[in-house]
Structure 1
Amino acid sequence: MPKVKRVSTSSVPRPESAAAPSRPVRPPTLPWIARRRMPEGALPALALFAAVRFAGILVVILANGVRGHPLVKSLAHSWDSRWYLHIAAHGYGDKIWISPQGAVQTDWAFFPLYPGLIRALSTILPFTPGQAALLISWIAAGVAAYGVYVIGHHLYGRGVATALVALWAAMPHSVELTIAYTESLFAALAIWSLYCVLKRRWLWAGVLAALAGLSRPSGFAIALAVSLAAGYEALRQRGRVPVSLWAGAVLAPLGWLGYVLWVGTQTGDLLGGYFKVQSAWDSRFDFGLGSARFVKALLLHGGGAVYPVALVIVAVGVLLFALLCLERAPLVLVVFAGVLVLLVVGGSGSFSSKPRFLLPAFPLLIPMARALVRTWRVRPAHAVVVYSGLTAASLLFGAYVTAVAHSPL
């Protein structure tokens, strides 16, 4: 019987359909932020944002020159900026101020992340604290604007995203995105935390919310928004959610809560110490009594240009929040914007400062952005005129409050 020659099956070519599926070679795992691609249209929108805010800086410098003031000093050394720079240089507990009413105001009212970054940057690089403060604010403003675009693009597409960034750059009080204040830093952290919630990146959302809570008292708003969104998601999924969701919900309030408790330990009153510190600055939640008294006094006795404009901005903010609710925007955006509006309306303190507290509340601009896009599609010239008017008003008002008015920012 003849021997059968065995042929190795590995040497016999196989049909294409019978070939073993090849495994694609995957690139090394990177953090999700590093793997992101810039959405279409982001660069033009960010260029517009940068152009508007750079024009705002130039108008402020020009106004200072006309009035014979140092050209750029007001950008880094206005009102609260001086407190942040002092904390960066000397730490906490080194500066107090006695108000005209006799209240002892301390630097514990100011949250630590921004002065900490100023100190770190001015230590590492050959910058003065004022220069470091401005650099941080400008970079954070760009990061925040990109976050606004990404959220707008994710929810509504390129047109609304571009309009959102454009309107955010031209808000009447957007000058405070480019001075040594915490609004830019807080907005950048809070906005990207909101995006992480929309993309179900719960751990990142919690970490960013915790950092935002270390930058401003209003960090409470993003902490509550993230935690409530996580709770709603857990209810919707009947508890079948990843551990990262619970981790993000727990992490979100830790920055704000940690600083509040630390101030309590410094004052000897763990739970109430921070709120007593804020009360000395006439900053407390009084359910709108202070706002009502201000409106009454303004109507009876009038006031400088800053105060009527501030009242209009706050009133428009309330109206835009109602429209945002009608838009059926995502819960996390509604909660974040709503808490900021509530803190502005229900809190006491200088009314001239209230518009900047609404700066991070970019979801309020969603109804305006969608209306602007609709106008652009039907009557582009009208949309250009409207936006040009808003931009001109923003630049002039920003220069006025920074270089001319003596009202608190």
Structure 2
Amino acid sequence: MSVSAPPRPSAPAPHRPPAHRPVLAWRPVLAWRPGRADLEVLWLYLLTRIGLWTTAGAVRWLFPSDSQAREPASFLSPWQQWDWQHYLHIARDGYFPGQAGPWTAGWDNREAFLPGFPLTLRAVHTVVPDWAAAGALISFAAGGVAVLALARIARHHLPHPDAGRRTVLFLLLSPCAVFLAAGYTEALFLALALPAWLAAQRRNWPVAAVLAALACSVRVTGLFLAAALVLHFVRTAARDRRAWRAAPWLLLPALSPALFSWYLQARTGDWMAWKHAQERGWYRDFHTPWEAWSHTWEAAFHHLHPTGYALMWQAELLAMLAGLALLIVLVLRRRWPEALYIGLTLWALGTSYWYTSVPRSTLLWWPLWIGLASWSLRRPQVLTAYLCVAAPLATVVAITFLTGRWAG
């Protein structure tokens, strides 16, 4: 009797990737799914905000503008310093109120500031009548978004359960952290730039490009972010030819500066009006890197300026050295997109007459905070040393800024 062979098992069906659905491409970055690690980061962010606002409240009482004052200044007055006035004037009056402009005596060169933050301030002001409160609210909300994105980027790079919280801790206790709470551009820029970078890590190029375009409307640093995104895309597309379909999206960030330049040209006849305003108001005309270093060194150590300004120029030099060290580390580790971002930033900051706002710019160097967190996870004493040094410096810079002195 013949016995039939058992039936051959059917071959498994070939794996087919799910069909591409463009609408869902936005969800990985924009979806709100806070896990325990995210909640810990937000709690840390809230605690540091309480600390900064408590410091600002003490400043109102301890350092009044009138030493004989019997009443403290208004609650928000310590935050209305320096660049805030430019953003306020633009949001309230526009760039060229009453036909005033660079041709007007005593002009404040407000066209040196990009429109992203003033437009956001004007929009929030329609709901929050007090301008200073509106600015504080923007920075508070934007800072929360920024730290969540930073924590997620850190967890993407570092396989450690505490990587995100540790990275955010380094940022929030950094010497110039007060500017994340002030009505300045740093928090809003990070709230756009860090999710853009996170989207790029997830190969979500449309979202990355849109967010980078918005970041370019807030700070010129957005252009350096866009350059880093292009390099990251090219390195990714070299391994996946299908990725080139998204290449046109990476042209989008150039739209923001192009539109602003067009607007300024229509009003002033000068396509580079923003750059010329920077040169007039802040000495940001081109000098070689060694000239810029020499001028800053003289301002810091040759007793040419009051001690408060000299100390801040010393901080500028230290921040530039920190940036150069970070750039070297990124190059040695072949982190080319991040190295390009940092390198372009240092070139822009290091080729003016002298260094200006380099310490503040460290807030935007997310590879620095991730690198420090990684180092501290290998060597716990790094965190202890950082907290013992950075936290007092952060308090000093905060008081310096909140009392109306030049800081960062």
How far off is 1:320 after superposition? 2.3
- Unaligned ranges ≥5, structure 1: 1-16, 18-23, 377-381
- Unaligned ranges ≥5, structure 2: 1-9, 11-17, 66-72
CA RMSD of the aligned region, Å? Answer: 2.9
Q: Show the 5 A alignment for 1:338-349.
A: 338-348=343-353
Residue of structure 2 aligned with 1:291, choices 281, 290, 293 = 293
- What residue in structure 2 maps to residue 93 of structure 1? 96
- Report the Cα distance in structure 2 between the residues aligned to 1:255 and 1:132, rounded to whole angstroms: 24
Residue of structure 2 aligned with 1:152, choices 151, 154, 163 = 154
How far off is 1:174 after superposition? 0.9
Residue-by-residue CA offset, 1:83-124 (whole Å, 9 max, x unaligned)? 1111111111129799xxx9854221111111111111111x
- What residue in structure 1 maps to residue 397 of structure 2? 398
- Report the Cα distance in structure 1 between the residues aligned to 2:206 and 2:269, rounded to whole angstroms: 33
8 Å contact 1:62–1:71 — kept in the other structure?
Answer: no
Q: Size of the alignment, in residue pairs? A: 372
- What residue in structure 1 maps to residue 111 of structure 2? 108
Residue of structure 2 aligned with 1:130, choices 129, 132, 155 = 132
8 Å contact 1:205–1:252 — kept in the other structure?
Answer: no
Residue of structure 2 aligned with 1:202, choices 178, 194, 205 = 205
- What residue in structure 2 maps to residue 374 of structure 1? 378
- Report the Cα distance in structure 1 between the residues aligned to 2:258 and 2:101, rounded to whole angstroms: 25
Identical amino acids, percent of aligned pairs = 25
One-letter identity of the residue aligned with 1:52: T
- Report the Cα distance in structure 2 between the residues aligned to 1:228 and 1:258, rounded to whole angstroms: 24
Residue of structure 1 aligned with 2:49, choices 41, 49, 53 = 53
8 Å contact 1:56–1:398 — kept in the other structure?
Answer: no
Structure 1 pair 391–54 and aligned structure 2 pair: CA distance change class (3 A): farther
SS in 1 for 2:97: coil
- What residue in structure 2 maps to residue 385 of structure 1? 384
- What residue in structure 1 maps to residue 7 of structure 2? none
Q: Show the 5 A alignment for 1:268-287.
A: 268-270=269-271, 272-281=272-281, 282-287=283-288
Q: Show the 5 A alignment for 1:72-87.
A: 72-87=75-90
How far off is 1:286 after superposition? 2.6
How far off is 1:242 after superposition? 4.4
Structure 1 pair 168–339 and aligned structure 2 pair: CA distance change class (3 A): same
One-letter identity of the residue aligned with 1:66: L
The structure having more radius of gyration, on CA atoms, is: 1
- What residue in structure 2 maps to residue 262 of structure 1? 263
8 Å contact 2:116–2:217 — kept in the other structure?
Answer: yes
Structure 1 pair 133–396 and aligned structure 2 pair: CA distance change class (3 A): same
How far off is 1:280 after superposition? 1.2
- What residue in structure 2 maps to residue 335 of structure 1? 340
- What residue in structure 2 maps to residue 310 of structure 1? 316
How far off is 1:301 after superposition? 2.3
How far off is 1:146 after superposition? 0.8
Structure 1 pair 39–222 and aligned structure 2 pair: CA distance change class (3 A): farther
One-letter identity of the residue aligned with 1:267: T
- What residue in structure 1 maps to residue 69 of structure 2? none
8 Å contact 1:55–1:395 — kept in the other structure?
Answer: no
- What residue in structure 2 maps to residue 4 of structure 1? none
Structure 1 pair 67–216 and aligned structure 2 pair: CA distance change class (3 A): same
One-letter identity of the residue aligned with 2:56: V
8 Å contact 1:88–1:129 — kept in the other structure?
Answer: no
Residue-by-residue CA offset, 1:151-210 (whole Å, 9 max, x unaligned)? 001111333322211101111011000001011111111111111111111011110010
How far off is 1:71 after superposition? 5.4
Residue-by-residue CA offset, 1:261-300 (whole Å, 9 max, x unaligned)? 3223322123x33322221122234332233211134233
Residue 371 of structure 2 is aligned to residue 364 of structure 1: no
SS in 1 for 2:171: helix
- Report the Cα distance in structure 1 between the residues aligned to 2:34 and 2:74, rounded to whole angstroms: 36
TM-score, scaled relative to structure 2: 0.82
- Report the Cα distance in structure 2 between the residues aligned to 1:227 and 1:385, rounded to whole angstroms: 37
Q: Show the 5 A alignment for 1:173-184.
A: 173-184=176-187
8 Å contact 1:173–1:355 — kept in the other structure?
Answer: yes
Residue-by-residue CA offset, 1:4-39 (whole Å, 9 max, x unaligned)? xxxxxxxxxxxxx9xxxxxx9xx9965413546445
